């Protein structure tokens, strides 16, 4: 089945259907007066209301941002990383990075808020979400927390719940500050090297290359096609010579341009083979291969397995 981004409307429709509630009863009061959307939920209450099955929470990407304080045993699966959460975690989800969330039992608590970028644009801080290090492509923002850290974060969500239920005229302005407080708390947990601004030209080239590469994914439709496929494609977009790009990436990451591109194409191919019912020709085309044979040869060279063998593992 094709994995399309879950929209805000679809999120509410799913929750309403599972909890036998009207969609309007789930929406925060006064939100229609806002540009963008925000809401906050109690994890334990939602699980009880909708009788969530931990084994039926599919890999997907969402068309909105989400910040969660998770308290329970969970597994978060990304394209090439798996995070085991045994107790507490602060999790930042972005529309650009698909993931698969697997609760390990029903003993779950915590809170999460969902919002669109338009909601936060109203902040006087002038924050652009995708420019924040914690939401950068290629990141895996899952932070394991001590009980003390979790207790520091929990009151922020409690204030969100209280404010969204209040009649305060400027409550959404206040809530935006709470969202930013969570963002900054998470960024303080990041290693310094991941968000220090650098003026080094090589670092900028590497960063821009990774951003261009990641911007093409995930592939959400058979009509979507990866456009940047070769070292020259990326070098032309960055207005540098392909040899220079290759040298910079080799020095900064230990991998050549082609190795980066091939690795990311293989990651996406595995996801599409396992998570969709697209035929292999459609997958090959969406990843920029004009001929199925070229895709099969490339995939087997990278993985020592054929696309069909990978697909059969998902059955």
| Segment 120-169, tens digit of pLDDT | 876 555 566 766 777 766 566 889 999 999 999 999 999 999 999 999 98
Query: In angstroms, how far is CA 197 from the centroid of its own chain?
Result: 22
pLDDT at site 30: 64
Listed range (54-58, 102-106, 310-314) with the worst mean pLDDT: 54-58
* 15 or 258, greater pLDDT: 258
Q: Which domains does the chain have, with CATH numbers?
A: 8-195 (2.60.120.280), 201-313 (1.10.10.60)
| Angle CA 118–135–45, to nearest 5 | 75
CA distances from 302 to 66, 196, 293 (A): 34, 34, 14
Q: Cβ(202)–Cβ(248) under 8 Å?
A: yes
> Residue 243 — pLDDT band, cuts 50, 70, 90?
very high
pTM, to two decimals:
0.58
């Amino acid at each position: 089945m094709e994995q399309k981004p879950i929209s805000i409307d679809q999120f509410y429709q799913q929750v309403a259907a599972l909890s036998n509630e009207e969609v309007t009863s789930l929406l925060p009061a006064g939100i229609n007066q806002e540009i963008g959307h925000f809401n906050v939920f109690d994890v334990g209450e939602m699980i009880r209301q909708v009788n969530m099955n931990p084994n039926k929470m599919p890999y997907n990407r969402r068309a909105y941002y989400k910040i969660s304080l998770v308290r329970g045993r969970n597994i978060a699966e990304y394209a090439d990383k798996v995070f085991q959460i045994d107790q507490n975690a602060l999790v930042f989800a972005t529309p650009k990075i698909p993931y698969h969330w697997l609760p390990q039992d029903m003993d779950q608590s915590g809170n999460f808020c969902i919002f669109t970028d338009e909601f936060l644009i109203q902040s006087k801080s002038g924050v652009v979400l995708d420019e924040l290090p914690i939401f950068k492509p290629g990141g895996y923002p899952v932070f394991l927390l001590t009980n003390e850290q979790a207790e520091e974060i929990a009151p922020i969500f409690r204030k969100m719940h209280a404010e969204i239920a209040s009649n305060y005229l400027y409550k959404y302005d206040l809530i935006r500050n709470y969202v930013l407080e969570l963002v900054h708390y998470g960024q303080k947990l990041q290693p310094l090297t991941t968000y220090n601004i650098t003026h080094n030209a090589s670092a900028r080239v590497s960063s821009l290359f990774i951003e261009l590469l990641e911007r093409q994914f995930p592939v959400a439709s058979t009509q979507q096609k990866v456009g940047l496929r070769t070292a020259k494609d990326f070098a032309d977009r960055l207005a540098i010579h392909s040899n220079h790009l290759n040298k910079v990436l080799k020095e900064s990451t230990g991998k050549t341009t082609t190795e980066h591109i091939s690795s990311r194409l293989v990651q996406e191919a595995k996801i599409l083979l396992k998570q969709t019912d697209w035929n292999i020709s459609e997958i090959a085309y969406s990843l920029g291969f004009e001929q199925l044979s070229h895709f099969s040869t490339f995939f087997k060279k990278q993985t020592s397995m054929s696309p069909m063998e990978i697909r059969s593992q998902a059955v």
